[in-house]
Amino acid sequence: MGAVAYDVPQPNFSDRVAQLLDKVDYRLIDSDEDRDEIYRLRYDAYLREGAITPNFTKKFSDQYDETDNVWLFGLYIDGELASSIRIHVASEENPVFPGLKVFSDILEPELKSGKIIIDPTRFVTDRHFSKLYPGLPYVTLRLCWLAAEHFSAEHFLVAIRTEHQAFYKRTFLHQPICDARPYPTLTKPISLMTVDHARVADQVHRRYPFFRSTFFERRMLFEPYVPAHRTPLQPRTNLRLVPSHEVAMR
């Protein structure tokens, strides 16, 4: 009897990113040792791109790493640090975040009108893991998307170099709202883009199903951080807790 060949369906891009999600461990960073590892990863990534000048510590951090409204995440694969991102959740009551200093003329009126702003910064990936897993940027930026939904933010900002705008337009439907300006600690000018999560969520989820999440996952990521001595910024009451179209990715 002759052998029969079967065509095995190959996973598409969304499938591969979803598979990567199963390997990734999202960790909220609080220990000095883990922070130093992330600061070294930042330094290597920013120096390689020519975005900062060398320093003797071989670490890259700033005062915004210590604010009350910051979430510093590390993404680990097989126990090794693969990427990191810092997320500020800003409101009129807690308006401290990196982008405000540079784009205050645009963002201060938004805060004063009661809007919530997600400001992700210091997005870096390990060179080895980036080559091994092309979906790593999507898995990392997924945290920002989840934060925008959890806190019902009107603005999911990205302060980026102009050459990176196309990625955010394609992935999250970001739109530019300010031309590039000088940015503290960086050698290259930075532009500002934003998107309203609620307005584009269905469209983004249809194209990239791995951005979907459950309320439970978002709560586990963003609520344990809040110290007991202060009142947390809660998701708004109109937030859909577990939409019928959402699926758990992990």
12 part of a folded domain: no
pLDDT in tens, 20-61: 999 999 999 989 999 999 999 999 999 998 889 999 999 999
Q: Is the pLDDT of residue 10 over 90?
A: no
**What is the torsion angle, in degrees rounded to the nearest 10, for the CA atoms of residue 13, residue 148, residue 115 and residue 106?**
-40
> What is residue 236's predicted lDDT score, i.e. its pLDDT?
52
CB–CB of 98/121 below 8 Å?
yes
Q: Is residue 240 part of a domain?
A: no
Which of 7 and 62 is assigned the larger pLDDT? 62
- Whether 16 maps to a domain, the answer reads no
Q: Is residue 15 part of a domain?
A: no
Quote the domain boundaries for residue 110.
21-222
C-alpha span between 203 and 31 (Å, rounded)? 38
Using one digit for the tens of pLDDT, what is the confidence trace for 138-155? 999 999 999 999 999 999
What CATH number has the domain bearing residue 139? 3.40.630.30
pLDDT digits 0-9 by tens, 104-139: 999 999 999 999 999 999 999 999 999 999 999 999
Residue 91 has a pLDDT of 96
Task: With respect to residue 7, please indicate whether it lies within any of the assigned structural domains.
Answer: no
Amino acid type, 182: P
Q: How many domains does the chain have?
A: 1
pLDDT score of 246 more than 50: no
Q: How far apart are CA 116 and CA 135, in angstroms?
A: 28
% of the chain exceeding 70 in pLDDT: 85
* Residue 241 reports pLDDT greater than 50: no
- The answer to whether residue 163 is domain-embedded is yes
Average pLDDT for 2-10? 47
Q: What is the pLDDT of residues 191-201, one digit of tens each?
A: 999 999 999 99
Name which residue leads in pLDDT, 229 or 171: 171
* Triad 105, 107, 113: Cα angle to 5°: 115
Residue 13 lies in a domain: no
Task: Give yes or no for residue 225 having a pLDDT over 70.
Answer: no
Can you give the pLDDT at residue 233? 57
Residues 174-187: tens digit of each pLDDT: 999 999 999 888 88
Whether 213 is covered by a domain: the verdict is yes
DSSP structure class, residue 75: E
The pLDDT of residue 11 is 63
